[in-house]
Amino acid sequence: MATFLYKLGRLAFRRRHFVALIWVALLTLAGVGAASAPPAGSTSFSIPGTEAQKAFDLLEQRFPGSSADGATARVVFKAPSGEKMTDAGNKAAVEQTVKELGTGSEVTSVSDPYLTRSVSQDGTIAYAQVGYKVAGMELEDASRDALEKAAQNARDTGLTVEVGGDALQAAPSTGTTEIIGIAVAAVVLVVTLGSLVAAGLPLLTAVIGVGIGVASIMALASTLDLGSTTSTLAAMLGLAVGIDYALFIVSRYRGELAEGHDREEAVGRAAGTAGSAVVFAGLTVVIALAGLSVVQVPMLTKMGLAAAGTVAVAVLIALTMTPALLGYAGRRIQPAGRKARWMGGGRAEKKAADTQGDVSKPVKPKLGARWAGFVVRRPVAVLLVGIVGLGAVAVPASDLELGLPDDGSQPTSTTQRRAYDLLSEGFGPGFNGPLMVVVDAKSSDDPKAAVTDVSDTVKDIKGVVSVSPAMFNKAGDTAMLTVIPDSKPSSAKTENLVHEIRAAGADIRTDTQANAVVTGTTAMNIDVSQKLNDALIPYLALVVGLAFLLLIVVFRSILVPLKAALGFLLSVLAALGAVVAVFQWGWLAGALGIEETGPIMSMMPIFMVGIVFGLAMDYEVFLVTRMREAYVHGEKPTQAVVTGFQHGARVVTAAAVIMMAVFAGFIGSSESMVKMIGFGLAIAVFFDAVIVRMAIVPAVLALLGKKAWWLPKWLDRALPNVDVEGEGLRKESERTGSGSEGGDADPDGQRKLAHV
């Protein structure tokens, strides 16, 4: 592996014009495809095999043209103080609004609140429901404009009018915090690499990689039915890992220059060593993301595969375009230890030279070396503090409540949230989450009697406020009943009610041969949550198992991969605890712009397991490979820990800060799902990089000593030698005659980076 990547790096360095041209052409091609493709549709929560999905499929079959999965809007009216919605003037205004709502080309139905009895008991609130042919994200702008215009016209008459439902659903915006995150990443790169040119390389390669990945997703969004959140997740991960992977290679390149190698040789060695770590780190992320397909939720599968593809592009760019850009940069990137003059580079070098010339002034070890020395001297204390600290943060995770966001989780400044609150005020909290009971009476001798039996049974269940009259299809063998609970959609009480209705349906099936199934948005959300919960353990076993095998090959050890997996579990549990404390308990909610707390998004645990595991293994690979490299080259186990930490800690810390900044940038998103994922990933990276990899990992390796690198001889012979440490590079250097002379050589006429 190292030898192949060494040759690839040198080839990209020499043929930089060709490599740059290929990536620019791919970016252009993807951009053209994205610009000419239809926009992404809404994210679908369909789950094959669940009762709610079976009911939706039955509705499509028995009620053709009903657009069961189409967008809906609830236009909610509230009369001025002291008036009623039944007053003549208010009634005329509502009827005019209903007439305006029904004129759109995508509208399938509009309900008149006075005909459907959709007026509250006290007469102050009423609503009209609008159905559309297509999903919310697929609505034409003209349909949304018409909806908003009709609502505004009603407001002009003196009524309070708000619009709920998914018809006004729009692509999530991230706000300015995402830009701030990238700016923080740029500052960290400049400080770490010592020059603007060196700092610009990782940013440039990451932006190109994300551009290709996201543009490809947008180009295929309509064809593959990819939701808008898919590209957001891909951009989030692609940007973070893209910067990190290029950072590791550029940092290693500067280290090779400092050892006296010429630039082409330094590029080859950086690609062969750090590049090998990039390949295996990227593989762990890809495995974790692609593994989401085992959950068998189409939306998650598509999001995982799309993000995995973007990460794969980031790896390829790091291995090819980064060496090419290093060739363009030439002498503008200095060896490690040197900084640009505007950062005080000349003074620092002079001071270092004076110190080396005066033997009476010992060279002070760097912070990383001093910290590693402390850890290996006090491994038990450091280990206990790290584990206890993460354990304390993980405590809130024991109170985890799962659900899916609805209009009730929107900020109070939105019309969707205000409509939600008005409906709760006028009709009760359960009105925002009606359940739909579909009765398939095709096999029953008396379909109408069977449906009546179902209706009477459901009415008698505790927690049911009302059951609407049955609506039959043309054949008269299938009916729909709308059930209003007495609790809000995201509550545990509503979930229990769904299970009770389904249990009663089983008894009805025995008595009448009619099949009663529960569906609707609320029931679908409950089924999504259950499906994700059931898949969590198998998914965890698959991802951790595959990555464990991969890390055995990389580290040629049993205990190091085991330690990596256990450290990851600590990180993810602590991160889940922090998410619960903020988004469920409300700690620091105001500071993060969270206006409504409640159940944690059902997908969050499985996202945390998948994505955080991949990122955690990044730091494990980058940090521990340097330790193993020192051990393989003859250092004692304890000294190898210090040496590896000294070389890798600064870059790993910078990479973690960059990732945290990028992920934290998405906390400003207008969509609660993206906001929660951004916070969860940022805090998880902090826990894993700072506490687990920087404290617990060196402490455990110091305690294990030589046992850390133990591997049964039969397994050692069976495993392929991937040579992450770069032992084969010495032979390759001897064969090609590459050496350490001409460290400042500038072969092949270096071009300015700005020329790119």
The model's pLDDT over 258-312, given as tens digits with 9 standing for 90+, comes to 888 888 888 988 888 888 888 888 888 888 888 888 877 787 888 888 889 999 9
Token readout for 617 is 């293994």
What is the model's pLDDT at position 41?
52
Residues 6+ apart with CB under 8 A from 198: 189, 250, 254, 329, 332, 333, 334
C-beta of residue 538 within 8 angstroms of C-beta of residue 293? no
* 66, amino acid identity: S
What is the model's pLDDT at position 390?
93
CA distance 110 to 130: 5
Smallest CA-to-CA distance from 300 within 288, 312, 310 is with: 288
Residues 6+ apart with CB under 8 A from 291: 304, 539, 542, 543, 546, 610
C-beta of residue 400 within 8 angstroms of C-beta of residue 676? no
Helix axis angle for 228-258 and 263-290, nearest 10°, is 150
716: which DSSP letter?
A: H
What backbone phi and psi angles, to 5 degrees, belong to 478? -140, 140
CA distance 187 to 210: 20
CA distance 619 to 658: 13
Q: Report how far Cα 36 is from the mean position of its chain's Cα atoms.
A: 26
C-beta of residue 162 within 8 angstroms of C-beta of residue 419? yes
Residues 6+ apart with CB under 8 A from 172: 228, 229, 232, 669, 670, 671, 673, 674
CA distance 680 to 594: 14
Distances (CA, A) of 525 to 71, 522, 530, 700: 16, 5, 9, 42
CA distance 581 to 573: 12
Looking at 306-461, which runs of residues are DSSP E strands?
A: 402-403, 435-440
Helices vs. strands in the chain: H and E counts, helices first: 25, 11
C-alpha count within 13 angstroms, C-beta hemisphere, residue 692: 32
Smallest CA-to-CA distance from 98 within 66, 122, 75 is with: 75
CA distance 120 to 104: 27
What is the model's pLDDT at position 544?
80
CA distance 305 to 451: 43
Helix axis angle for 379-394 and 697-704, nearest 10°, is 140
C-beta of residue 561 within 8 angstroms of C-beta of residue 555? yes
Low-confidence residues of the chain, pLDDT below 50? Answer: 342, 347-348, 352, 355, 359-360, 740-756
CA distance 390 to 572: 10
The CA R_g of the chain, rounded to the nearest whole Å, is 30
CA 740, 730, 277, 635: dihedral to nearest 10 degrees? -90
**What is the DSSP track for 524-571?**
HHHHHHHHHHHHHHHHHHHHHHHHHHHHHHHH--SHHHHHHHHHHHHH
For 164, the 3-state DSSP assignment is strand
CA distance 548 to 559: 10
CA distance 553 to 719: 6
pTM: 0.75
Bridge partners, residue 201, by sequence: none
Residues 6+ apart with CB under 8 A from 386: 691, 692, 695, 696, 699
What is the model's pLDDT at position 26?
93
Smallest CA-to-CA distance from 397 within 613, 527, 572 is with: 572
Tell me how crowded residue 177 is: count the other CB atoms within 10 A of its CB. 17
What is the model's pLDDT at position 645?
83
Token readout for 331 is 């002498």
608: which DSSP letter?
A: I
Distances (CA, A) of 153 to 10, 150, 414, 593, 597: 68, 5, 18, 32, 33
C-beta of residue 245 within 8 angstroms of C-beta of residue 622? no
Burial label for 513, CB within 10 Å (0-12, 13-18, 19+), is middle
CA distance 538 to 23: 38
Tell me how crowded residue 345 is: count the other CB atoms within 10 A of its CB. 16
Residues 6+ apart with CB under 8 A from 128: 74, 75, 77, 94, 97, 98, 101, 110, 111, 112, 113, 118
Q: Report how far Cα 707 is from the mean position of its chain's Cα atoms.
A: 37
C-beta of residue 18 within 8 angstroms of C-beta of residue 469? no
